[in-house]
Amino acid sequence: MYTTKNIERLCRTILLKNSKNVHTTSIKLKFENPLSRTWRILKDDFRRIPAKFNDANQVGGLDNIFPRHVDILVVGGGAIGTSIAYWIKEKSGLKGVNLAVIEKDPTYAKSSTVLSVGGLRQQFSLPENIQMSLFGAEFIRNLKKRFGNDADVYFTPNGYLMLASEQGAQQLIDNSKLQRDLGAYNVILSRNELKARFPWMNVDDVEAGCLGLEKEGWFDPWAMLCIMKRGAMNAGAQYITGELVDFTFEKKHDITVDGVEEGTYESMDEAIIKLPNGEHKSIQFALIILAGGADSGEIAKLARIGTGQGILSIPLPVEKRKRYVYCFSCNEECPGINTPMTIDYTGAYFRRDGYGGTFIGGLSPLPNEEPTTDNLDVDHVYFDEKIWPILAHRVPAFNSVKVRSAWSGFYDYNCYDENGIIGPHPYYHNVYLATGFSGHGIQQAPAVGRAIAELILDGDFQTIGLTRFGFDRLIVDKPMLEACIV
């Protein structure tokens, strides 16, 4: 039943505490008559019936009915947006919560989600990231219970191996202790222990390594996305193919915001969507969640975030960054099939890809070497000049590797502190953010989706406290920085 209590949860007063500053949004709720709402929902349902009788070859019949309004609009249908849609629908249990997801590319050909390497690890230095990754492992372990026996993301539990130089060894040890205190299972290996366990490795300049023994490895990101999307759609979430290109703004005289002159507050409750055929349509919403991945910074500008006055002058610091992944083969006596995802202290990484002596690897460029983001072309010279020397030094057998293929993908890079921004925006009473995960989004998606659902439906985080990951840290300049973490 869609109760007044649930409506209040969707439209509640938001109280945000930024250190010593408090920004308060007061809302005079205007409840829709229950009979009117029921009739409105029934009319929408009747509008959808003809779609069932469309041409059998038409894909996504119900999705082709463009809604005039929704309770919750999610911008971005990748792993983060889809997880949010799934958890809100799963947690609410209310068919009356009308939720739609806007995704501009239903093929996900350029999506950060499906172009990632699908890593899962708890080896972070911030408790929140460790806890989110632990839940990601639990989510994968229970996939079949949650989504059915055919749900499989082909998890490879080979763990992560983080290497440290003499300068970074103590931080690695400290990180490991925190991780184990929170429920991770890993072990610190000395230089000699590393050599004994991994004889193919050159450890001359390595002081220590941290090896994850459980709940770490890699999985198929495409399979994860498809499973969560199917779960969201089965629960009633609607996916709309289109691109958000604008918002409409309206003065709200019945809403006051601390620090904003009374009567001047403007909010958004309508999005303009560009459809594949070029047509523009509008959709009204009660709440909107910006989960646009690498495009989130530009989407936020449409909402005047970063271009307005006061709090709105602070931009969403999420930029599109291109990263290369190279697939190479090794003809020598290469690392075995149990090789973990190995992260060199330089930032270069590699792992096995299947059982035929094939590996994938990469390295994030230096800030002054960031490649252009206007295409997804791969720079093969980058492997030869930047990555291969590091890999060949660490694994002598990699002296004779041959690149077989390569691809590139985009990070939703948070240039402020490289960690996700999760929670409500301090100016808008109906805008939530879930973006800026800087390469960790696929493994954190299950926890982020649950967290946003808790914020909206319960009024606060219930399982993992992610308050420190809110937008407010930008206002009070308290970055959430990882220590010696790639």
Q: Could you read off the pLDDT of 196-229 as tens digits, one per residue?
A: 999 999 999 999 999 999 999 999 999 999 999 9
pTM (2 decimals)? 0.88
Residues 261 and 294 in one domain: yes
Please report which confidence band the pLDDT of residue 373 belongs to, taking 50, 70 and 90 as the band edges.
Answer: very high
Contact present, 185 and 217 (Cβ < 8 Å): no
Predicted confidence (pLDDT) per residue in 128-162, tens digit: 999 999 999 999 999 999 999 999 999 999 999 99
Q: Is residue 348 included in any domain, yes or no?
A: yes
Residues 326 and 208 in one domain: yes
- 3-state secondary structure (DSSP) of residue 57: coil
What sign does the dihedral 221-227-228-233 (CA atoms) show? Answer: positive
Q: In 453-479, which positions are buried (b, 16+ CB within 10 angstroms) versus exposed (e)?
A: bbbbbeeebeebebeebbbbbbbeeee
Backbone angles phi, psi at 32, to 5 degrees: -80, 140
Residues 73 and 212 in one domain: no
Distance CA 383, CA 102 (A): 36
Last residue of a domain, one of 361, 390, 412: 412
Q: Where are the beta strands (DSSP E) in 111-172?
A: 119-120, 160-164
Alpha helices in 314-420, H assignment, sequence order: 380-382, 388-394
Distance CA 132, CA 182 (A): 11
Residues 16 and 101 in one domain: yes
Please report which confidence band the pLDDT of residue 33 belongs to, taking 50, 70 and 90 as the band edges.
Answer: low
Range of the domain at 30: 4-48+58-111+223-317+417-475
Please report which confidence band the pLDDT of residue 52 belongs to, taking 50, 70 and 90 as the band edges.
Answer: very low
More confident residue, 387 or 20: 387
- Residue 57: per-residue pLDDT: 35
CB atoms within 10 A of CB 93: 11
Q: Is residue 201 included in any domain, yes or no?
A: yes
Residues near 45 by beta carbon (within 8 Å), at least 6 away in sequence: none
Residues 107 and 80 in one domain: yes
- Residue 275: per-residue pLDDT: 96
The conformation of residue 467, written as its DSSP 8-state character, comes to G
Residues near 66 by beta carbon (within 8 Å), at least 6 away in sequence: 240, 273, 275, 281, 283
- Residue 15: per-residue pLDDT: 35
Domains held by the chain: number: 2
- Residue 207: per-residue pLDDT: 98
Longest Cα–Cα distance in the chain = 74
Q: Which CATH number fits the domain that encloses residue 99?
A: 3.50.50.60
Residues 325 and 408 in one domain: yes
Distance CA 245, CA 466 (A): 30
- Checking if the pLDDT of 124 tops 50, the result is yes
Average of per-residue pLDDT values in the chain? 88
Residues 184 and 161 in one domain: yes
**Do the bridges between strand 318-329 and strand 358-362 make them parallel or antiparallel, or are there none, so unpaired?**
antiparallel
Q: Is residue 105 included in any domain, yes or no?
A: yes
Q: Which CATH number fits the domain that encloses residue 376?
A: 3.30.9.10
Distance CA 46, CA 39 (A): 10
- Residue 331: per-residue pLDDT: 83
Last residue of a domain, one of 370, 396, 412: 412
